[in-house]
């Protein structure tokens, strides 16, 4: 019962860099929210509005793709709020957060905690761990338990800092807001719709180029072989190399399983889907792409060696 009515938002943000914020939330809603796609879109927009991400709904999340290509996307604070949006899309009554402000600057940390405060004001129960909160973040909590080495601290502090109208943290936050405002003014327009639809172009293009390169290499090595028994042996060798390449090419997709492991290991904590469902979907897509690359390789090799395969053999 508690698992069904609660959500856990981890400290790390794990997203597919090539997906937009709306698409990321649409996947989470499809796995958590029952109903028609139209009704789920309303839930998605409501969740994006709750965390203040409607303006960047069509922006790519951004990050490092497998293969080293970096996709430009939203900021770290916006990614943290997107994690919260994915957690609340199923309307949980109990929200657990693990250090939601870690790694964020002063302004972004305050924005994230104000977002979490608004969720609590809606009637949800929010439990969060946090390290060294600034004064304005401290004021957002209803109840605080101070821990030391995993146990509650039951004694008062020996000394207390005096209050002030404007602390150094407030000055830093004001400077950060001015910097962020300047970045917003000079930021280039949002990417075109075509760019938003590209998932991992470097990975797809790299595997296709690899298939074409291997096919040309095999074709060049065994091109125009002599006739007779020697030619037949060369044809058999060419067929062996082609079969070997077709056997080994699917193994290149193992790197994608390693890269996607962080998403799979985190999602079952909710849980959203089963292990067989994950492997069936990923294996099906990879098998389709691998088959197309294999067909392309065979067509190129046949273009080089087609005449050799049809030569007559003496009895």
Angle between helices 76-88 and 21-32 (to 10 degrees): 20
CA distance to 4, 37, 52, 267, per residue, from 31 (Å) = 13, 12, 22, 10
Give the C-alpha separation, 30 to 41, whole Å: 10
SS3 of 95, please? strand
Over the stretch 93-110, which tens digit does the pLDDT of each residue have?
A: 888 888 888 878 888 888
- Domains of the chain, residue spans: 6-153+164-186, 200-309
Over the stretch 35-81, which tens digit does the pLDDT of each residue have?
A: 888 888 888 888 888 888 888 888 888 887 766 677 788 888 889 88
Query: Which pLDDT does position 207 carry in this prediction?
Result: 80
- Dihedral, CA atoms, 156, 158, 162, 163, nearest 10 degrees? -20
- Higher model confidence: residue 6 or residue 227? 6
Residue listed under structure tokens 């809606």:
122
**Average pLDDT value for the chain:** 77
User: By percentage, how much of the chain surpasses pLDDT 90?
Assistant: 0
Query: Which pLDDT does position 298 carry in this prediction?
Result: 85
Give the C-alpha separation, 81 to 116, whole Å: 9
Give the C-alpha separation, 305 to 240, whole Å: 13
* Cα 167 off chain centre by: 37
CB-based contact 59:21 (threshold 8 Å): yes
Over the stretch 262-289, which tens digit does the pLDDT of each residue have?
A: 666 665 556 667 778 778 888 888 888 8
What average pLDDT does the segment 16-32 reach? Answer: 87
Residue 30: pLDDT above 60? yes
Query: Which pLDDT does position 192 carry in this prediction?
Result: 46
CATH 3.40.50.300 at 6-153+164-186, yes or no: yes
Give the C-alpha separation, 313 to 228, whole Å: 7
Query: Which pLDDT does position 66 carry in this prediction?
Result: 66
Over the stretch 146-191, which tens digit does the pLDDT of each residue have?
A: 887 777 887 766 555 555 545 555 556 566 665 555 454 444 444 4
């Amino acid at each position: 019962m508690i698992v069904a009515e609660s959500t856990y938002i981890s400290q790390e943000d794990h997203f597919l860099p090539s997906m937009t914020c709306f698409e990321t939330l649409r996947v989470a809603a499809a796995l958590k929210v029952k109903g028609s796609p139209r009704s789920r879109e309303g839930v998605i927009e409501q969740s994006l509005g709750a965390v203040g991400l409607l303006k960047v709904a069509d922006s790519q999340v951004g990050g490092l793709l497998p293969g080293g290509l970096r996709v430009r996307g939203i900021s770290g604070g916006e990614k943290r709020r997107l994690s919260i949006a994915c957690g609340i899309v199923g309307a949980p009554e109990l929200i657990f957060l693990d250090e939601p402000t870690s790694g964020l600057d002063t302004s972004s940390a305050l924005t994230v905690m104000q977002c979490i405060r608004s969720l609590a004001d809606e009637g949800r129960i929010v439990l969060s761990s946090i390290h060294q909160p600034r004064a304005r973040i401290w004021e957002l909590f209803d109840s605080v338990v101070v821990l030391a080495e995993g146990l509650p601290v039951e004694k008062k502090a020996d000394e207390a800092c005096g209050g002030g109208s404007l602390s150094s943290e407030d000055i830093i936050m004001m400077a950060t807001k001015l910097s962020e405002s300047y970045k917003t003014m000079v930021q280039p327009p949002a990417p075109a719709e075509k760019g938003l639809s590209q998932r991992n172009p470097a990975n797809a293009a790299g595997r296709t180029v690899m298939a074409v390169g291997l096919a040309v290499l095999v074709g060049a090595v065994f091109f125009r072989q002599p006739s007779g028994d020697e030619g037949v042996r060369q044809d058999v060798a060419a067929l062996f190399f082609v079969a070997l390449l077709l056997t080994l090419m699917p193994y290149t997709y193992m790197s994608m399983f390693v890269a996607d492991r962080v998403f799979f290991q985190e999602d079952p904590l909710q849980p959203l889907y089963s292990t067989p469902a994950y492997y069936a979907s990923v294996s099906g897509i990879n098998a389709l792409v691998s088959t197309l690359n294999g067909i392309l390789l065979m067509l190129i090799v046949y273009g080089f060696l087609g005449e050799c395969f049809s030569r007559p053999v003496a009895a």
